[in-house]
Amino acid sequence: MVDNSMLKEIKVEDAVGYTLAHDLTKIIPGEFKGRIFKKGHVIQKEDIPELLKIGKEHIYVLNIKEGYLHENDAAYRLAKAIAGKNVLLDEPHEGKITLTSKIFGLVKVNETLINQINSIPDLALATVFNNKVVQPGGKLAGTRALPLIIEEEKVNRAEALLEGKIAIEVKEFKKSKVGLVTTGSEVYKGRIKDRFGPIVKKKLNYFGSDVVEQRFVPDDVELIKREIEYFLKQQVDIIMLTGGMSVDPDDRTPYAIREMSTKVVTQGTPILPGSNLMIAYNNDTPILGLPGGVLHDPYTSFDVVLPRILANDPITKEEINRSGYGGYYGC
Ligand SMILES: Nc1nc2c(c(=O)[nH]1)N[C@H]1C(S)=C(S)[C@@H](COP(=O)(O)OP(=O)(O)OC[C@H]3O[C@@H](n4cnc5c(N)ncnc54)[C@H](O)[C@@H]3O)O[C@H]1N2
Ligand code: MOO
Position in ligand 1 atom list of the atom nearest CA 253: 20
Task: Please say if the pLDDT value at position 177 is more than 70.
Answer: yes
| Triad 174, 176, 179: Cα angle to 5° | 160
For residue 120, what pLDDT is reported? 98
| Same-domain pairing of 215 and 317 | yes
Residue 166 lies in a domain: yes
Domain of residue 50, CATH code: 3.90.105.10
| Same-domain pairing of 8 and 131 | no
| Same-domain pairing of 181 and 306 | yes
Task: Please say if the pLDDT value at position 18 is more than 90.
Answer: no
Secondary element (H or E) of residue 87: strand 87-89
Number of H helices, E strands in the chain: 11, 19
The share of the chain scoring above pLDDT 90, in percent, equals 88
pLDDT in tens, 84-94: 999 999 999 99
Asked whether 292 lines ligand 1 (CB < 6 A), one says: yes
User: How far apart are alpha carbons 316 and 205 in whole angstroms?
Assistant: 25
pLDDT in tens, 104-146: 999 999 999 999 999 999 999 999 999 999 999 999 999 999 9
Q: How far is the CA of 313 from the centre of ligand 2 (A)?
A: 23
DSSP secondary structure, 132-161, as one string = -EE-TT-EEEEEEESSSEEEHHHHHHHHHH
For residue 17, what pLDDT is reported? 87
User: How far apart are alpha carbons 9 and 253 in whole angstroms?
Assistant: 74
Asked whether 242 lines ligand 2 (CB < 6 A), one says: no
User: How far apart are alpha carbons 5 and 2 in whole angstroms?
Assistant: 9
**Residue of higher predicted confidence among 306 and 63:** 306
How many folded domains does the chain comprise?
A: 3
Task: Please say if the pLDDT value at position 2 is more than 70.
Answer: no
Residue 328 lies in a domain: no
| Same-domain pairing of 11 and 91 | no
| Same-domain pairing of 266 and 225 | yes
Burial of 262 (0-12, 13-18, 19+ CB in 10 A): exposed
User: How far apart are alpha carbons 241 and 228 in whole angstroms?
Assistant: 9
This model of the complex carries an ipTM of 0.95
Q: How far does CA 289 lie from the centroid of its chain?
A: 25
Mention every residue, 6+ apart, whose C-beta is less than 8 A from residue 90.
97, 98, 100
Task: Tell me what the mean pLDDT of segment 264-275 comes to.
Answer: 97
For residue 8, what pLDDT is reported? 87
Domain of residue 266, CATH code: 3.40.980.10
| Same-domain pairing of 249 and 231 | yes
Asked whether 191 lines ligand 1 (CB < 6 A), one says: no
pLDDT in tens, 26-83: 999 999 999 999 888 888 999 999 999 999 999 888 888 899 999 999 999 999 999 9
Q: Which domain holds residue 230?
A: 177-321
Ligand nearest, relative to CA of residue 294? 2
Sign of CA dihedral 36, 90, 140, 114: negative
pTM of the model: 0.91
pLDDT-based confidence at 1, cuts 50/70/90?
A: low
The distance in angstroms from the start CA to the end CA of the chain is 53
Average pLDDT along the chain: 95
